[in-house]
Amino acid sequence: MNVRLQMTAALLLWAGTVAPPRQTPTFSSRVEAVRVDVLVSESGRPVRGLQPADFALEDNGVPQQVDLVSAEQLPLNVILTLDMSASVAGEPLDHLRRAGRALLDGLRTGDRAALVTASHVVAMGAPLTGDVGRLRRALDSSEAIGNTSLIDASYAGMVLGESDVGRALLLVFSDGLDSSSWLLSDEVLDIARRCDAVVYGVSVGQAPKSDFLRNLSDVTGGKHIEIESTKDLSAAFLSVLDEFRNRYLVSYSPRGVSKEGWHQLTVRVKGRTATIKARSGYFAGS
């Protein structure tokens, strides 16, 4: 772990949150098995009922046999990573809290959630827990103050998402630019390529925006959503949760490919012109 990552982990520890990870989070595959979170949609709606034989998958150009497809069997780890800088104060904060509560109400038995806030510091409002009451209290007590450490907070969210079994959904909200992170965006994007977490970024307003959230969503196979007003946050958060539940977890054992380095993934559905959202690849042996 380099100096910048250690500094971010130290910020979390200082905030009374979680211990820093022992190593950089890595994609779930050690080559023995690879699992890929895949969204299949047609005309903007998720396609349901697909089986392993419906998928065609290539690893570094080599066709692979898909062994398992699970639509929604594993519990979710939902990491709410929220911009709590001063620009969110007032009515936007009320809308953000309302949206967070709506998402928490949508959790099912076995699902867990956590809260990471990004202001001039990164803090964990609540660790991964199934205690919705605790999460609501943490959300309601969060204050909007200072600048924005969105890149650092996104890294912290990925660490939390990787810390327990289940499918990790990192929902990142921001209303503007990062202004105080220690980490560089390229560093966090590289880490994201090695993680299982799927990122959905939600941006709001007409303020200038960096490409970080869009790129982070793309490299993890998630989606970047832009809304006009914080009044639309509840609908956006609920749509993310619903869409994530309708993604497929595709599993296969790599054959005929190297056990090291970057592996380019190509996923499609046979006989359909469906739109596919999935991470572009994974690192093996790292």
Per residue in 238-262, pLDDT (tens digit) is 999 999 999 999 999 999 999 899 9
CA distance 135 to 119: 19
Residue 6 has pLDDT above 90, yes or no: no
What pLDDT is recorded for position 208? 64
Whether residues 124 and 208 share a domain: the answer is: yes
Contact indicator for 249, 239 with CB cutoff of 8 Å: no
Whether residues 162 and 91 share a domain: the answer is: yes
Query: Which residues, 6 or more positions from 156, have their beta carbon under 8 angstroms from its beta carbon?
Result: 8, 11, 12, 17, 81, 116, 122, 124
pTM above 0.85, yes or no: yes
Residue 37 has pLDDT above 90, yes or no: yes
Whether residues 210 and 156 share a domain: the answer is: yes
Give the CATH number, domain containing residue 123.
Answer: 3.40.50.410
Whether residues 240 and 276 share a domain: the answer is: no
Whether residues 41 and 157 share a domain: the answer is: no
Whether residues 94 and 234 share a domain: the answer is: yes
Specify the amino acid at residue 48: R
Whether residues 100 and 142 share a domain: the answer is: yes
Counted domains in the chain? 2
Whether residues 102 and 39 share a domain: the answer is: no
* Least confident residue range of 15-29, 45-59, 69-83, 158-172: 15-29
Per residue in 101-160, pLDDT (tens digit) is 999 999 999 999 999 999 989 999 999 999 999 999 999 999 999 999 999 999 999 999
Q: What is the DSSP letter of 86?
A: G
Whether residues 233 and 100 share a domain: the answer is: yes
Q: What is the DSSP letter of 75?
A: P
Whether residues 129 and 221 share a domain: the answer is: yes
Whether residues 180 and 267 share a domain: the answer is: no
At 41, list the tokens.
């949609």
CA distance 205 to 247: 28
Per residue in 194-215, pLDDT (tens digit) is 888 999 999 987 666 678 999 9
Residue 184 has pLDDT above 90, yes or no: yes
Domain of residue 89, residue span? 3-26+73-245
Whether residues 201 and 162 share a domain: the answer is: yes
One-character DSSP codes across 178-189: --S-SS-HHHHH
What pLDDT is recorded for position 71? 73
